[in-house]
């Protein structure tokens, strides 16, 4: 079991989520921002490919075991879009604007009516300095809603209603969302693996 794990992201929201999920495991969490690592260009065509690409780059640059995730929103009515381009739909010269990205989802669907099936997917890739690699996948099923509701989450959370719920992911307490989210499910698989590997 390693003592330090590098989370290959500059997204502080994600870092906080991972810190919460790894509480009590005795692992020090570092982020790509701590090492001022450049963000590699995501050139793969799958969530798994992009997660591995980011983890490999961070591991190579620091010599630390690196965990990267690639995640996104897949809307069935948009043939799985925005998918791996979820973050890029929010790119502006001033940084990411997810209000703009959510408005684009609404526009591309011709207006969200509230019954559009969608899911978040997260793939975690763990890369060790010795070259070993593992991946873990989690899914968070639900449907879309409009207008946006809630300010607790990040990304597309304000338009995503989890299965069997009436409120959006952005209206949930972060600790509750972290128990059932796509990332939580992937992390659960990762933690199970870590305990077996200890």
| Active-site residue set | 70
What six digits make up the tokens of 179?
A: 């128990």
Q: CB of 135 within 8 A of CB of 51? A: yes
Exposure string (b/e) for 142-175, b if CB count within 10 Å is 16 or more? bbbbbebbeebbbbbbbbbbbeeeeebbbbbebe
Q: CB of 16 within 8 A of CB of 182? A: no
What six digits make up the tokens of 170?
A: 């952005």
| DSSP helix/strand/coil, 71 | strand
**DSSP state, residue 94:** T
**DSSP state, residue 85:** G
């Amino acid at each position: 079991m390693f003592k330090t794990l590098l989370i290959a992201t500059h997204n502080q929201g994600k870092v906080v989520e991972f810190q919460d999920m790894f509480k009590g495991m005795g692992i020090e969490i570092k982020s790509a921002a701590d090492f001022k690592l450049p963000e590699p260009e995501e050139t793969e065509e799958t969530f798994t490919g992009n997660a591995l690409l980011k983890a490999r780059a961070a591991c190579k640059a620091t010599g630390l075991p690196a965990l990267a995730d690639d995640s996104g929103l897949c809307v069935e009515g948009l043939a799985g879009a925005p998918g791996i381009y979820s973050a890029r739909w929010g790119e502006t010269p001033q940084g990411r604007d997810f209000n703009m990205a959510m408005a684009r989802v609404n526009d591309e669907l011709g207006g969200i009516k509230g019954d559009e099936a969608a899911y978040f997917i997260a793939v975690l890739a763990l890369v060790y300095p010795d070259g070993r690699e593992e991946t873990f996948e989690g899914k968070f099923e639900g449907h879309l809603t409009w207008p946006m509701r809630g300010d607790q989450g990040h990304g597309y959370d304000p338009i995503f209603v989890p299965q069997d719920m009436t409120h959006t992911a952005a209206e949930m307490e972060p600790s509750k969302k972290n128990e059932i989210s796509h990332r939580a499910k992937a992390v659960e698989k990762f933690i199970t693996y870590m305990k077996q590997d200890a």
